[in-house]
């Protein structure tokens, strides 16, 4: 029996209602960005065969589950977040047989698989949209998207003032089959990503069927892309502001976080709960937990103005987890960190869902680089900053994150301490927002550079055929090979921390932390059987010894009653 699948944390998460408990409560979930993880066929692009070959690495790292960014058939206008067919695999990533083999192998190793679901929009190459355009005005398929006549004398102006998240208007004008300018369609992201009209029953039916397709394939859950965007305010009203960027994330918008989205997730939850928990090798555990229904999860990617609004997505009859983007955006500052930790825990407690923690993903600057720069630069940063400082803080931030109650997300390569590649030449960039955002944002390619597995060799072991984005020189020194077994390496720090979390379930359990008195710039808090001390200042600070050092993000020496906590360092103590 593998310890991974058989450990729902019911016994340790005392403050969550029973219906919300399960393996995900304190899980460490690893994000694989398939095109940049490992290339199995040597074409320079990562693929499912590559991921499958590296599952033992993930098992060894100790994570509970793997979330894969989209691998479906797609023209790749937004790296797969533009899906043309939700039930097939893009040939660049493999086949359905590869997906099946990957899911089976993962389960054999005791790893769960979460796939990405993209329900807010399809690709403009999706059959519905292609036919909607080809059939012209009056096509019934147009009702499954948002087609509208333009404003102005000849319909030459967009139907409303909404802007695309990637920059420019959120509307594109179509050309009718007879060659004359026609209606406009809505796309909150790139023009190649038309938004579905979720008021149309065929859209809801289709996604229920897609959920079942992947649940039947055996997946353990879905990360739901733009979960806050599916429902738009009735009548698609103007925003009335020319500063949409400022409002985004700070206000409820007519196209984001509308209350109607919750009904959709309640209907999805019913479907997930019908499915039995996936069985791993060796049959049910002695407690018989594996045969329980449920165990398949929904995770919301919902950028909302407050953690309280995020909590709405994880009420007991909706999703299981939601990303905590407020945490991801917090500066390396004790007071700010304490505040966001408290607010996050307080917001989730009433709904009984686990709080989640995340520092990096494929849309934002890696936290090593974020912390290497001054605060306040946002989540897409163009400067490398002070690399040593960034790595030191990133390691400390990771130990802090993994000592908090709830579930933690790790983005591929952060366990190697990879920085963002901030000097990619413009001509190799592929992020659509880079081309539309006019210099405001659009630097997501920097965190998507294929990861190094070996010191040398073609693309540092990523694959035999180079890599779709150039890897910087010296990348091999950060590779898995270079760091494996290396005392003090970032990879070994992650391995030890995740193993310690598994060995001491108290670390991830519960829904609260007990703050202890701490000098300015430090965080000191108790967890069952542990104390965690974090020095966010740039200077060493002497504090009383708290027990036995279990793990520290930089070397520490205790001499009797006191310890000098180095700058930007986290220490875990057993008490
Ligand atoms: C969020 C995804 O994480 C991002 O990569 C994508 O561009 C947008 N949603 C649109 O699907």
pLDDT digits (tens, 9 = 90+) for 200-224: 999 999 999 999 999 999 999 999 9
Alpha carbon of 521 to those of 301, 530, 540, 541: distances in Å? Answer: 31, 20, 11, 9
pLDDT digits (tens, 9 = 90+) for 67-112: 999 999 999 999 999 999 999 999 999 999 999 999 999 999 999 9
List the structure tokens of 441: 């944002």
Close Cβ partners of 437 (under 8 Å, ≥ 6 residues apart): 166, 167
Close Cβ partners of 276 (under 8 Å, ≥ 6 residues apart): 291, 292, 293, 295
Which of 81, 118, 170 gets mutated to test ligand 1 (max ligand atoms within 8 A of its CB)? 81
Average of per-residue pLDDT across 144-171: 96
Reduce the DSSP state of residue 345 to 3 states and report it.
Answer: helix
Note whether 502 and 509 are within 8 A (CB): no
Which of 78, 191, 192, 443 gets mutated to test ligand 1 (max ligand atoms within 8 A of its CB)? 78
Q: Which atom of ligand 1 is nearest to the CA of 78?
A: 7
Average of per-residue pLDDT across 416-426: 95
pLDDT for 278 equals: 67
List the structure tokens of 20: 């919300």
In angstroms, what is the span from residue 16 Cα to ligand 1's centroid? Answer: 31
Q: Nearest residue CA, atom 11 of ligand 1? A: 81
> Does 127-186 match 22-123+197-233+240-498 at the fold level?
no
Chain mean pLDDT for the chain: 91
Note whether 149 and 155 are within 8 A (CB): yes
Q: Which atom of ligand 1 is nearest to the CA of 188?
A: 10
Note whether 483 and 495 are within 8 A (CB): no
Q: Nearest residue CA, atom 5 of ligand 1? A: 363
φ, ψ of residue 514 to 5 degrees: the values are -105, 110
User: What CATH class is the domain 127-186?
Assistant: alpha beta
Start-to-end C-alpha separation, the chain: 31
pLDDT for 243 equals: 74
In angstroms, what is the span from residue 34 Cα to ligand 1's centroid? Answer: 14
Q: Which atom of ligand 1 is nearest to the CA of 189?
A: 10
In angstroms, what is the span from residue 307 Cα to ligand 1's centroid? Answer: 20
In angstroms, what is the span from residue 521 Cα to ligand 1's centroid? Answer: 35
Q: Indicate which residues carry an active-site annotation.
A: 225, 274
- Cα separation, 461 vs 477, in Å, equals 12
Note whether 469 and 44 are within 8 A (CB): no
Close Cβ partners of 288 (under 8 Å, ≥ 6 residues apart): none
List the structure tokens of 46: 């990562």
DSSP3 helix / strand / coil % (the chain, rounded to 5): 30, 20, 50
Q: Nearest residue CA, atom 3 of ligand 1? A: 363
Q: Which atom of ligand 1 is nearest to the CA of 166?
A: 7
Q: Which atom of ligand 1 is nearest to the CA of 432?
A: 7
pLDDT for 559 equals: 80
Order of strands, sheet of 147-148, starting from the edge strand that comes earlier in the sequence: 147-148, 181-186, 171-175
CATH tag, 22-123+197-233+240-498 = 3.20.20.80
pLDDT digits (tens, 9 = 90+) for 118-138: 999 999 999 999 999 999 999
The HSE-up count of residue 176 (CA atoms within 13 Å, CB side) is 10
φ, ψ of residue 340 to 5 degrees: the values are -70, -30
Average of per-residue pLDDT across 474-479: 97
Alpha carbon of 574 to those of 526, 531, 571: distances in Å? Answer: 10, 6, 10
- Cα separation, 257 vs 265, in Å, equals 13
Say if residue 504's pLDDT is above 60.
yes
In angstroms, what is the span from residue 301 Cα to ligand 1's centroid? Answer: 9
Domain ranges in the chain are 22-123+197-233+240-498, 127-186, 509-574
Q: Which residues line ligand 1 (CB under 6 A)?
A: 78, 81, 118, 189, 225-226, 301, 362-363
Nearest one of 466, 360, 458, 363 to 417, comparing CA atoms:
360
Predicted confidence band at 441 (pLDDT cuts at 50, 70, 90)? Answer: low
In angstroms, what is the span from residue 321 Cα to ligand 1's centroid? Answer: 18
CATH tag, 509-574 = 2.60.40.1180
Q: Nearest residue CA, atom 6 of ligand 1? A: 81
List the structure tokens of 513: 């932390």
Pairing verdict, β 85-89 and 28-32 = unpaired
């Amino acid at each position: 029996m593998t310890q991974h699948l058989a450990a729902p944390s019911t016994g340790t998460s005392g403050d969550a209602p029973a219906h919300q408990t399960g393996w995900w409560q304190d899980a460490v979930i690893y994000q694989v960005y398939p095109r940049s993880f490992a290339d199995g066929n040597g074409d320079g692009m990562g693929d499912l065969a590559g991921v499958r070959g590296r599952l033992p690495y993930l098992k060894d790292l100790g994570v509970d589950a793997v979330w894969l960014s989209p691998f479906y058939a797609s023209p790749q206008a937004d790296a797969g977040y533009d899906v043309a067919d939700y039930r097939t695999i893009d040939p660049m990533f493999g086949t359905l047989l590869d997906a099946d083999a990957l899911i089976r192998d993962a389960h054999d190793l005791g790893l769960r698989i979460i796939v990405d679901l993209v329900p807010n929009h399809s690709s403009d190459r999706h059959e519905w949209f292609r036919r909607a355009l080809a059939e012209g005005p009056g096509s019934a398929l147009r009702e499954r998207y948002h087609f509208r006549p333009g404003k102005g004398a000849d319909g030459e102006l967009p139907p409303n003032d909404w802007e695309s998240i990637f920059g420019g208007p959120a509307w594109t004008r179509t050309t009718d089959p007879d060659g004359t300018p026609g209606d406009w369609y809505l796309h909150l992201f790139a023009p190649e990503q038309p938004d579905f009209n979720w008021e149309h029953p065929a859209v809801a039916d289709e996604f229920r069927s897609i959920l079942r397709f992947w649940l039947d394939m055996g997946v353990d859950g879905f990360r739901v892309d733009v979960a806050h965007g599916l429902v738009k305010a009735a009548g698609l009203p103007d925003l009335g502001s020319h500063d949409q960027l400022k409002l985004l994330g700070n206000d409820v918008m007519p196209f984001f976080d509308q209350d109607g989205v919750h009904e959709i997730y309640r209907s999805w939850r019913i479907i997930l709960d019908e499915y039995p928990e996936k069985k791993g090798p060796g049959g049910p555990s002695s407690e018989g937990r594996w045969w329980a229904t449920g165990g398949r999860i929904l995770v919301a990617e919902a950028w909302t103005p407050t953690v309280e609004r995020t909590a709405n997505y994880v009420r007991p009859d909706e999703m299981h987890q939601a990303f905590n983007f407020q945490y991801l955006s917090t500066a390396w500052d004790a007071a700010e960190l304490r505040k966001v930790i408290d607010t996050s825990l307080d917001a989730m407690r009433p709904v009984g869902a686990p709080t989640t923690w995340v520092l990096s993903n494929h849309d934002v600057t890696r936290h090593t680089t974020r912390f290497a720069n001054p605060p306040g630069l946002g989540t897409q940063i163009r400067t490398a900053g002070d690399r040593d400082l960034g790595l030191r803080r990133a390691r400390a931030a990771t130990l802090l994150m993994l000592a908090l109650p709830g579930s933690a997300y790790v983005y591929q390569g952060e366990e190697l301490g990879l920085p963002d590649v901030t000097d990619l030449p413009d001509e190799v960039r592929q992020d659509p927002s880079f081309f539309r955002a006019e210099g405001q944002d659009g630097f997501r390619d920097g965190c998507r550079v294929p990861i190094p597995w070996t010191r040398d060799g073609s693309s540092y072991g990523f694959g035999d055929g180079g890599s779709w984005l150039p890897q910087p020189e010296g990348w091999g020194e950060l590779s898995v090979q270079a760091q494996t077994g290396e005392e003090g390496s970032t990879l070994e720090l992650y391995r030890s921390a995740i193993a310690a979390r598994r060995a001491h379930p108290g670390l991830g359990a519960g829904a609260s932390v007990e703050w202890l008195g701490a000098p300015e710039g430090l965080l000191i808090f108790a967890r069952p059987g542990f104390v965690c001390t974090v020095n966010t200042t740039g200077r060493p600070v002497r504090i009383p010894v708290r027990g036995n050092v279990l793990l520290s993000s930089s070397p520490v020496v205790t001499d009797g009653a006191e310890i000098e906590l180095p700058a930007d360092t986290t220490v875990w103590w057993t008490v």
